[in-house]
Structure 1
Amino acid sequence: MSAHDQLLVVIDPVARRSDGESVRIAKDVLCGGSEAKILLPEGPEDFARALARRGSRRPVVVGDDRALLRAVALLYRDRWLGNGALSLVPVGPAPAIALAHSLGVPKGAVAAARAVLDGSVRRLDLLVDESDGVVVGDLTIPAVGSGYPAGAGSLREVWRSLVRGLARPMPAPLARPHRLRVEVDGVLLTDLDREVESVTIRAVGGRAEVVVRPAHPLRPGLLVEPLTAKALTVTVAGPDFRYRADTTITGPVRTRTWTLRAGAWGLTLPSATGT
């Protein structure tokens, strides 16, 4: 049996609790078509140790977007992703696996597991900050009071806040713009003398696509033509701000630089879409 057929299947504990039937189906398909070693970590530390024991086997994560992002971050810091590829079987409620599907991973445990066995590797870009933090999807810097609780560490806390809000009417928080300095490849896009509603950064076609939405100087909330740019490095600085990288809210920080790493990681996708 070739090394391609030797898999290290790491099943996230959240997936086991949320949808045991999909996990069972994924295991059956993967074990039926490969020599698969199954690991059942109980938490983040076990998850990291499981990936570290991959040897020459291809790592496969069975779990939601958080499990995918955790694996990408760990393998990137291990400097393995440059040549290796990760496979994923998404398991969880639709909002929790939206990122996986947006990347091209099939819906349904059977289709996703078959893609692991028969698919091909597609190289994807990453945004990486100076602390080796990685961003797979979107990165956003929301205005203060734009709906994210102070000190929130993840979208789970945001979700809980929304649920509580449904239970009892609460006034909508007033969004207050930021004063931020945004540089793209060393060129100033906006400075501290101009308030902005939000900054969005995402990897698109080998470049970081930056969209800055300025605040209207007289009528808050009125749309203003956004400032856009494409670059390899983006630096944001200013008074304490929080940012959301994929599913995690980080901060407050006063400066952060993200660098586009083209083709920094590989994801196994169905052959029809993996080029």
Structure 2
Amino acid sequence: MSAPDQLLVVIDPVARRGDGESVRIAKDVLCGGAAAKVCLPDGPEEFVRALARRGSRRPVVIGDDEALLRAVHTLHEGGDLGESSLSLVPVGPAETVRLAVSLGTPTGAVTAARAVLDGVERRLDLLVDDRGGVVVGGLRIPDGPDSSPAPHLEPLPSVWGTCRDLVRTLVRPAPAPRVPAMRAHRLRVEADGRLLSDVDDPVEGVTVASRDDGVAEVVVRPRAAEPVRAAASAVTVSGAGFTYRADTLLTGPVRTRTWTVRPSAWSLVVPAPALSPDRG
């Protein structure tokens, strides 16, 4: 990428509130290296409008995985995802930028911003479902283990609380660690028309992940057998009603979904590969 690029820098409000210093550093690097218009949307709707009105400017998002996915969805719905390379400066706790890092985006405000200015386009596949939804990294069915928060307990006064805890410890043993039970899911899974699992054979789960080589990796985990793996350009899952998590978005219950791979459907700017030293 060349420095004279016209950039549209969209700063996600979550990043501004969570790590204003990293946001400031990234903005200064970007504005110092290119002609940049900076947008500070207050919420998702303004974020989407800013991208839709970018004109010929190259979009740069400062934010976490949620911001990246929102940008991909917006450009996809506008029909020009494949025409405009997208850049991201990841800002947020490590667990909120895992997808960005897995795609090759560096962490650190300065390093990531310089990659926006000097990096190269990496073409990536996209999973598109039959309702128009998109998946950047992968999906899993069901949506995952129960992550409900622990029930809220009012704090006890310090002395009484300490005494009560001591008595409980003396009169009864500590409970055994809770092991979540694996639920069985009756799903019909087809990969390019090949039947991988049917409703008569309960499974613990299904995952579908983009491989960026024109096909998706499909893994079906039966309850009493080894996982079944396949590579396919289209995957259909059917059942009485199932939920799934596509990247970070939870959807369902639904009765059927088909995901199709769109090869090299979009591009993300990543650091240029290091050149080997001249041994000439």
Q: Tell me the TM-score normalised to structure 1 length.
A: 0.86
The alignment status of 1:268 with 2:269, answered yes or no, reads: yes
For residues 244 and 167 of structure 1, do their structure 2 counterparts lie closer, same or farther at Cα, with a shift above 3 Å needed? farther
Q: Which residue of 1 aligns with 2:232?
A: 231
The alignment status of 1:247 with 2:253, answered yes or no, reads: no
Q: Which residue of 2 aligns with 1:206?
A: 214
Could you tell me which runs of 5 or more consecutive residues in structure 1 were left unpaired when the two chains were aligned: 149-157, 217-223
For 1:147-166, what aligned pairs fall within 5 Å after superposition? 147-148=145-146, 158=147, 161-162=148-149, 164=150
Runs of 4+ in 1 over 3 A off after TM superposition: 165-173
Q: Which residue of 2 aligns with 1:151?
A: none
Q: Which residue of 2 aligns with 1:77?
A: 77
Aligned-partner Cα distance in 2 for 1:166–1:124: 43
Q: Which residue of 2 aligns with 1:190?
A: 197
What value does the CA root-mean-square deviation take over the aligned residues?
A: 2.1
C-alpha displacement at 1:174, in angstroms? 2.3
C-alpha displacement at 1:184, in angstroms? 0.9
Aligned-partner Cα distance in 1 for 2:183–2:204: 8
The answer (yes or no) to whether the contact 1:64–1:91 under 8 Å persists in 2 is yes
C-alpha displacement at 1:185, in angstroms? 1.0
* Corresponding letter in the other structure for 1:142: P
The answer (yes or no) to whether the contact 1:7–1:37 under 8 Å persists in 2 is yes
Number of aligned residue pairs = 251
Identical aligned residues as a percent = 65
Could you tell me which runs of 5 or more consecutive residues in structure 2 were left unpaired when the two chains were aligned: 155-174, 275-280
For residues 272 and 3 of structure 1, do their structure 2 counterparts lie closer, same or farther at Cα, with a shift above 3 Å needed? closer
* Corresponding letter in the other structure for 2:218: V
Q: Please tell me whether Structure 1 or Structure 2 has the larger radius of gyration of its CA atoms.
A: 2
Aligned-partner Cα distance in 1 for 2:131–2:32: 40
The answer (yes or no) to whether the contact 1:3–1:56 under 8 Å persists in 2 is no
Q: Structure 1, residues 170-194: CA drift from partner, whole Å, max 9, x if none? A: 9554221100000111221111110
Aligned-partner Cα distance in 1 for 2:220–2:229: 6
* Corresponding letter in the other structure for 1:107: T
